[in-house]
Amino acid sequence: MATTIFERAGGFSAVRKIVADFYDRLLDDVTLQKYFANIDMARLIDHQTQFVSSMMGGPGEVSNDSLRKAHERLNINKADFIKLAGILRDTLEDHGLPDEAVQHIYDAVMARETFIVSKK
Amino acid sequence: MASVNVIEEAAKALDVAMAVADPATWTIEFENAKFFQWFPPDADDVGDARKRLPGLPLERAESRLGQGRSFAYEAEIKSGARTLTISISLKTVEVAGAPKLVIEGSNISKQKEAEYMLDSYSRLAEKNARELQREKERAEKLLLNIMPRVIYEELKDFGTTTPQRFDNTTVLMTDFVGFTEMAISQDPGAVVTELNDIFSAFDRVVELFGCERIKTIGDSYVAVSGLPEPTPDHAINIAKVALRFKRYLERRNSAHPTKWYCRIGVATGPLIGSIVGIQKYVYDIFGPAVNLAARLEALSESMQITMDAQTRELIESDFVAASRGTAELKGFGEREIFTLVSERPSGR
Determine the pLDDT at residue B4.
62
Q: Is the pLDDT of residue B144 over 90?
A: no
What number is the ipTM of this complex? 0.71
Class of the CATH domain delimited by B2-107 = alpha beta
| Average pLDDT, integer, range A16-43 | 86
Check whether domain A5-116 has CATH 1.10.490.10, yes or no: yes
CA distance A9 to B16: 36
Cβ contact (<8 Å) for B124 and A53? yes
Q: Is the pLDDT of residue A119 over 90?
A: no
Determine the pLDDT at residue B347.
44
CA distance B347 to B133: 46
Q: Is the pLDDT of residue B338 over 80?
A: yes
Q: Is the pLDDT of residue B344 over 60?
A: yes
* Residues of chain A contacting residue B116, judged by C-beta atoms under 8 Å apart: 41-42, 45-46
Q: Is the pLDDT of residue B44 over 80?
A: no
**CA end-to-end span of chain B, whole Å?**
108
Q: How confident is the model over A45-97, as pLDDT tens digits?
A: 888 888 888 888 888 778 888 888 888 888 898 999 999 999 999 999 999 89
CA distance B67 to B42: 30
Is B125 near chain A, with CB under 8 Å?
A: yes
Determine the pLDDT at residue B162.
83
**Which residues 7-36 of A are in CB contact (within 8 Å) with B?**
12, 16, 19-20, 23, 27, 33-34, 36
| Band of pLDDT at residue B346, cut at 50, 70 and 90 | low
| High-pLDDT (> 70) share of chain B, % | 96
Q: Is the pLDDT of residue B223 over 90?
A: yes
Those residues whose C-beta lies under 8 Å from the C-beta of residue B116, and which sit 6 or more positions away, are A41, A42, A45, A46
* Strand stretches in chain B, DSSP E: 17-21, 28-31, 71-79, 82-95, 98-107, 164-176, 212-217, 220-225, 262-276, 282-286, 304-308, 319-329, 333-343
Is A37 near chain B, with CB under 8 Å?
A: yes
> With contact defined as beta carbons under 8 Å apart, do A40 and A52 qualify?
no
Determine the pLDDT at residue B238.
95
Q: Where are the domains of chain B?
A: 2-107, 111-146, 155-343
Q: Where are the domains of chain A?
A: 5-116
Which CATH number is associated with domain B155-343? 3.30.70.1230
